[in-house]
Structure 1
Amino acid sequence: MPPQHQKRLNFSAKVVQGTLDSLPQAVREFVESSAKLCQPDQIHICDGSEEESRQLLCHMEDQGVIKRLKKYDNCWLALTDPRDVARIESKTVIITQEQRDTVPIPKSGLSQLGRWMSEEDFEKAFNARFPGCMKGRTMYVIPFSMGPLGSPLSKIGVQLTDSPYVVASMRIMTRMGTPVLEALGDGEFVKCLHSVGCPLPLNKPLVNNWACNPELTLIAHLPDRREIISFGSGYGGNSLLGKKCFALRMASRLAKEEGWLAEHMLILGITNPEGQKKYFVAAFPSACGKTNLAMMNPTLPGWKIECVGDDIAWMKFDQQGNLRAINPENGFFGVAPGTSVKTNPNAIKTIQKNTIFTNVAETSDGGVYWEGIDQPLASGIRLTSWKNKEWTPEDGKPPLEPPVLQPAGIACLSQTLSGLSSLAVVGEPCAHPNSRFCAPASQCPIIDPAWESPEGVPIEGIIFGGRRPTGVPLVYEALSWQHGVFVGAAMRSEATAAAEHKGKVIMHDPFAMRPFFGYNFGKYLAHWLSMAQRPAAKLPKIFHVNWFRKDKEGKFLWPGFGENSRVLEWMFNRINQEAGAKLTPIGYIPEEGALNLKGLRDVNVKELFDISKEFWEKEVEDIQKYLEQQVNADLPYEIEREVLALKQRISQIKDGFVLLGFSYLNHQEERMLMKHLVIRIPRKERGTLTRLIRTLTQKLNV
């Protein structure tokens, strides 16, 4: 640990479960040095057993930290201090010797791609917080595995915490306990130290019996030392150090060094009616329906979706050149508001037992409730809000019209932005917009049979997406791997300006990783680009989707929900070279008839796929400005070239011109066609000419 004076502190804590002698030497040294510093009264070495879990939950119930929800089997409710409800980007830092190792140096102003802290400043901050921070409390030792035990893609960590809530949640979200220590042996592990920052006796009373220290909250990552240090927050994103801290920030740095990828992506399997199965990963910013897509019920007859993971993917090319992915997590830590039987029936089924709810409302019969749950309250049932107050629908002052469910399955009642939200209703919500459920992944009714496969599942498609009300087509395919990396870097999405509550803005969120990069984003892009140089690498196709395009009246053009399976079907068939596509300046879009619309009514395909020169000129200008400003000297040349190429292609769009798309040609052939076959023809004759060209190319075997 940073301070060198730890050895002078007395180590008098009593070990109440397990023995220090049973720990691997490096783990024991970590525990002992941290105990000398933090001065807990007791040390509890977690074994991960059912009995241990039961005792911890009952202990927290006795302390008033959680409440049993009698309507369900082994479900619990925690209400936090209202000041401790979300991730805090401004207090989340990465410590390296050089600032440029963590973030690119922007042309001007502050970096939007991470926060760097010097080693000297961190040591001062650490020394001001941790000495004696666990007095009167128990230090829990949590050995945990990110990924299935024994998988070559998995990593092990050891978290020390004084929060039993963290222990109970980590047992759900990771593989935790004695088997992890046995698998670790003398191997390497990531050291994770967490404290709520409230030594006993307390200086001031707690709110909702929730221990936290918001004034001194700090979440720090030291990648060179493989350490994560968190102080002052009990909220999951800040205290469950296996999640974003390890699985994304630390892991992305490890992945860079070791030649793999750690990404903010869902993993799903999709099987067609003939029984052929493919796996996709998908990256979406907040409020774009990632969990809902991962657990979707497809409307297409005979098609099946299965969930491997809803949030994080670790991916590595195997010796055969296949990109293999594991879900490093063991549970779902999902946003509750907007989750309903209509938007995500499989999530609702998943959380009926063995679940910890945080900051949702409670019904008087021992159930849970939140905005967008879409379940009427039975007569006589009362609600208690997340602030532990009686709540009625009038307190929320909902609009006269019911909320419009959005295509990906997120109700418009909340838009999350960096873990924060503002409501589309006036008044006080019954559940916090960032309220959560923490449930075992094994309980998901459509969990994939291979979700714990040690070798991972083979990825054939990568999907990027965002919430774009105008301009961006429903789906398009990247022209190449390099172009696909640019598409990920250029991701933008509509989000509520939560700080000012002044309406909607389009935010840059490259790879949906903006808050989670563990190192310089320019180097991250170079790492992605380098995957194309892997020997025998079978590069997945890359796609971009937008479920949220609206017409001039503000209505969604695409129905979303299970109908999104139609888009996945087109991608599936593109990978099999069985679906036609039309080349456009931004990528391949489905040719006429290639997207299965059977049974759908009133879908304006023309507007869904319209590519406006005016829109895309501004879009590429904004993307170029952002990359040049934020990534600056670290922007790879290949990405600069993609920006310029897109600019040139957009400039060639002219009224009265048509770009003829051809199916089943390779990228080089289609680029040649795009360059030469730009033909001025009247609109009414275009269909005839297109058919003529198709016939000609077929006869010439193009």
Structure 2
Amino acid sequence: MCKTGRDIDIINELGKVDSEKSAKSILKKHMDDEQLTRILKIKHPEVLKRIADSIVLCNPSAVFVNTGSPEDREFIKNLALEKKEESSLAMKGHTIHFDLAQEQGRIIDRTYYIANPEDQVSSLANRMDRPTALEQVRSNMTDIMKGMTMIIGFYMRGPVGSPVSNPALEITSSTYVAHSAELLYRNAYAAFDKEVENLGHFFTNVHSEGLNRPEDLPDARVFMDRKFKTTYSWKCTYAGNTLLLKKGNHRFAVDKAVYENLGQELSEHMFITGIHGPNDRVTWFAGAAPSGCGKTTTAMAGNVFIGDDLAQMWIADDGSIRSVNPEAGIFGIVEDVNLEGDPLLMKVLRQPGHEVIWSNVLIDENKVPHWVGNNENHPDKGFNFQGDWYKGKTDENGKPVPMSHPNSRCTLRSTSLDNYSPEAENPKGALTRVFTYSGRDADTMPPVWVAQNSDAGVVIGACIVSAATATEVGATGVKRSPWANAAFIPGSLGDYMDAQFKFFGSDKIKNDYKPVMAGLNYFLTDKARGGDSSMLLGEKRDVKVWLSWLERYAHNEIDHITTPIGNIPRYDDLKSLFKQIIGKDYTKELYTKQFSLYLDHIIKRLELQQEAYSKEERVPQTLFDILAEQKQALSALRDTHGSIVLPDIFVN
């Protein structure tokens, strides 16, 4: 009878590896001489035990230890082609991977935190008790790699030597997952022991796609064991469910920031990009936006670029906030990526010389990828995520089948991008001055506004609202997306919010480095501002102007208008910046539409947040105080000026 106590480490309970000697015995049994020589260069006993436990559980027919050498990378790519997890495309270095048609996003309904009864788990997440999880892992992962090769990779989530980087094992039978890991993360085989010793922890990720059949998807699961920093994933192939270095380990990093380094460290769903100011000054930004809401586009709008998805940050000894990207590549949505809005990314995707893994796009008869919104000529037929495709094809419900899935992706190394900054590998991090928060907001907030203090800035992040995107299976409608990170917050939202207030309001941050915290909104429509069209009020390229205005605001070089929701730009400043930055004439009429406050909408938004957070436990009172203060000021403004307030009303 196995133990079912609250402290069971599931993988060890199933593997029963209880010593370094036992681990080495298992490694010798399952590895040839070459792989054994490689694995025994790893000296840390806990790392060896974790790997041995995984081998006992999954029972692979062979084990490959990936050292990150060019030869090992080539082996993995060739094995991916041999297994047909990927297929070669016309352009050298490009391959295509198709997920199952029914698995085109994160399986949030089958993703669970393993939790004891007393554990705080986010109200937005699923939980499973440890004994039940133990039996699910046992019944689904025992012998799941029989007849397959287990690939073991050693990675750093962040630059080697950074105080907020996290060592992680990626153990998988999927060559697509292993190939993706090599593009997206830093293989740290040679430094792994030292980093584990210095940082005092490592993450473990165990995945197998199993037989990769549609009928197995109802039984697919993603489990995250916070106590033992281990993830388990089976019977799925979409990278968001399988490449557990990414969002699985991001969750552990959030836990580490909130519960181990409160007020000193944050782990965020944010891009990191640098904007040039006068005299080629670089000001570093970090920004949150839900997947599918323009985060990669914003990151690439920077003059120099570090990352498009995740950020680890901390307060450095000099009193500044520093940020590093735990990743070294991009797993980016390609829908609406085109030459006009994303020229640097399009160069990588359409010109030779780069390695790219495509997923779920259309492949034509010449083995060229195509996707919705690329503003190119499209073929009338091809092969996509659901099989043979032709123009006008419909599904069993009569609904048009798109040329490419809305969540189709490209995976590539960040070094392929012309504006990628060497600062990305600096373990001291980028000195970050500006933090932005945005979602898909069609009718409420202006394009840019700045919080008047750090507490109000945290509230901007807490109040992100966005239209649902294709990144989550089954998600529809409009939803709250706090900090664009809520799906990845393991504990209570209240605890996470408290960490945000303590971090950004820390007295350890020197005055010269106080953060500028702002809201961004690219999705305001003409119809929401009195027009007849559902077109956006603006263009993709306008983001460069909003970021440039914030850059100058951070250095106290530009004026602003003070409103109850925060500080907004003056028209003359924007008119000048539009001409200077993107060569565009910016009219007063457009400014008035974009920056008028539609008070009924904003007040309704505040009430939505007040009601939603009142149902959460442990939410700091500061949030409610700020929302109430803003609502009172906006209501008074409405009583005096009516429901629509033009920006000129606030000008002295």
TM interval, shorter chain, is 0.7 to 0.9
- Structure-2 residue corresponding to 1:408: none
Q: Cα deviations across residues 11-65 of structure 1 (Å, max 9, x unaligned)?
A: 5423464224222222211111221222111111111111112122222222322
> Does structure 1 retain, via aligned residues, the 8 Å contact 2:321–2:509?
no
Could you say what secondary structure the match of 2:637 adopts?
coil
Q: Does 1:83 align with 2:102?
A: yes
Q: 1:155 to 1:393 in 2, by over 3 A?
A: same
User: In structure 1, which of residues 599, 603, 625 is the aligned counterpart of residue 611 of structure 2?
Assistant: 625
Q: CA deviation at 1:5?
A: 5.0
1:584 to 550, 563, 571: 563
| TM-score (norm. length: structure 1) | 0.81
1:557–1:392 Cα change, 3 Å: closer
In structure 1, give the amino acid aligned to 2:356. T
One-letter code aligned to 1:438 = T
Alignment partners' CA distance in 1, 2:621 and 2:317: 29
Give the structure with the larger helix fraction: 2
Say if 1:331 and 1:441, in contact at 8 Å, map to a contact too. Answer: yes
Distance 2:642 2:460 in 1: 24
Q: Deviations over 1:371-394 (max 9, x none)?
A: 11222148xx952223331x3333
Residues of 2 paired with 1:185 and 1:281: CA distance?
27
Report deviation, 1:157: 0.7
Q: Which residue of 2 aligns with 1:152?
A: 163
Q: Which residue does the alignment assign to 1:254? A: 256
User: 2:627 aligns to what?
Assistant: 643
Alignment match, 2:35: 18
In structure 2, the residue matched to 1:457 is 430
Counterpart Cα distance in 1 of 2:335 and 2:445:
27
- Residue 196 of structure 1 corresponds to which residue in structure 2? 208
The 5 A counterparts of 1:105-504 are: 111=123, 113-181=124-192, 183-184=194-195, 186=197, 188-198=200-210, 213-246=216-249, 248-256=250-258, 257-258=260-261, 259-296=264-301, 305-351=303-349, 352=351, 353-377=354-378, 383-389=382-388, 391-395=389-393, 426-495=399-468
Matches within 5 A, 1:35-114: 35-70=55-90, 72-98=91-117, 100-103=119-122, 111=123, 113-114=124-125
**What whole-Å deviation, never above 9, does each CA across 1:75-133 have from its counterpart, x for those lacking one?**
11112222332211111222233455222xxxxxxx3x222222222222222222222
Change (3 A) 1:189 1:355: farther
Equivalent-residue separation in structure 1 for 2:470 and 2:228 (angstroms): 36
Q: Quickly say closer, same or farther: Cα 1:622–1:7, change in 2 above 3 A.
A: closer
Query: Which stretch shifts more, 185-194 or 161-170?
Result: 185-194
Q: Distance in 2 between matches of 1:690 and 1:264?
A: 34
Distance 2:149 2:215 in 1: 15
Aligned residue among 614, 623, 635 for 2:600: 614
Q: 1:347 corresponds to which letter in structure 2?
A: L
Q: Indicate which of 623, 630, 637 corresponds to 1:653.
A: 637
Does the CA-based 8 Å contact 2:166-2:203 persist in structure 1?
Answer: no
Q: Deviations over 1:541-586 (max 9, x none)?
A: 1110111112231344532322222211221121121222111111
Q: Following the alignment from structure 2 to structure 1, what is the Cα–Cα distance between the partners of residues 650 and 390? A: 60
TM superposition shift of 1:658: 10
Letter in 1 for 2:206: H
* Cα deviation, residue 452, structure 1: 1.5
Contact 1:196 1:213 in 2 (8 A): no
Q: Secondary structure at the match of 1:136?
A: coil
Query: Structure 2 counterpart of 1:270, which letter?
Result: I
What is the letter of the counterpart of residue 510 of structure 1? P
Alpha-carbon contact 1:212-1:233 (below 8 Å) kept? no
Q: Runs of at least 4 residues of structure 1 off by over 4 A? A: 8-12, 496-502, 655-659
How many equivalent residue pairs?
Answer: 609
Q: 1:241 to 1:189 in 2, by over 3 A?
A: farther
Displacement of 1:482 in angstroms is 0.6
State the secondary structure of the residue aligned to 1:634: coil
Partner SS state of residue 178, structure 2: helix
Structure 1 pair 184/6, CA: closer, same or farther in 2 (3 Å)?
same
Q: 1:286 to 1:255 in 2, by over 3 A?
A: same
3-state SS in 2 of match to 1:87: coil
- Which runs of no fewer than 5 residues in structure 2 stay unpaired? 1-8
Residue 494 of structure 1 aligns with an amino acid whose one-letter code is A
CA contact (8 A) 2:184 2:328 kept: yes
- Cα pair distance change 1:130/1:594, threshold 3 Å: same
Q: Residues 406 and 470 of structure 2 are in contact (CA less than 8 Å); yes or no, is this contact kept in structure 1? A: no
Structure-2 change in CA distance of 1:236 and 1:539 (3 Å): same
The 3 A distance-change label for structure 1 pair 166 and 371 is same
**Equivalent position amino acid for 1:195 in 2:** H
CA distance in 1, matches of 2:642, 2:402: 50
Q: Residue 407 of structure 2 contacts residue 470 of structure 2 at CA under 8 Å; is this kept in 1?
A: no
Q: What's the TM-score once normalised by structure 2's chain length?
A: 0.87
Aligned residue in 2 for 1:672: none
Of the two, which has the highest radius of gyration?
Answer: 1
Do residues 517 (structure 1) and 511 (structure 2) align? no
Could you tell me how far apart the structure 2 residues matched to 1:7 and 1:555 are?
Answer: 60
Q: Deviations over 1:304-363 (max 9, x none)?
A: 622110000111010111000001101100112222212312112233521111221112
Q: 2:292 touches 2:470 (CA, 8 Å); kept in 1?
A: no
CA contact 2:286–2:435 (8 Å) conserved in 1:
yes
Please state if 1:550 is matched with 2:567: no
Aligned CA-pair RMSD = 2.9
Give 1:29's aligned residue.
49
Give distance in 2, aligned partners of 1:579 and 1:290.
Answer: 25
Seen in structure 2, the aligned counterparts of structure 1 residues 591 and 193 have a Cα distance that, compared at 3 Å, is closer
* Identical-residue share of aligned pairs (%): 23
Instruction: Check if 1:540 corresponds to 2:540.
Output: no
2:585 aligned counterpart, secondary structure: coil
Q: Distance in 1 between matches of 2:32 and 2:538?
A: 57
**Partner AA of 2:113 in structure 1:** I
**2:337–2:373 contact (8 Å) kept in structure 1:** yes
Structure-2 separation of matches of 1:270 and 1:497: 29
- Secondary structure of 1:102's counterpart equals coil
Q: Is the 8 A contact 1:492 1:508 kept in 2?
A: yes
The CA distance in 2 between the partners of 1:323 and 1:177, in whole Å, is: 26
- More deviation in 326-335 or 13-22? 13-22
Is this contact kept in 2: 1:26–1:186, CA < 8 A?
A: no
Unmatched 5+ residue regions in structure 1? Answer: 104-110, 297-303, 398-422, 662-682, 695-702
* Equivalent pair of 1:295/1:307 in contact (CA under 8 Å): yes
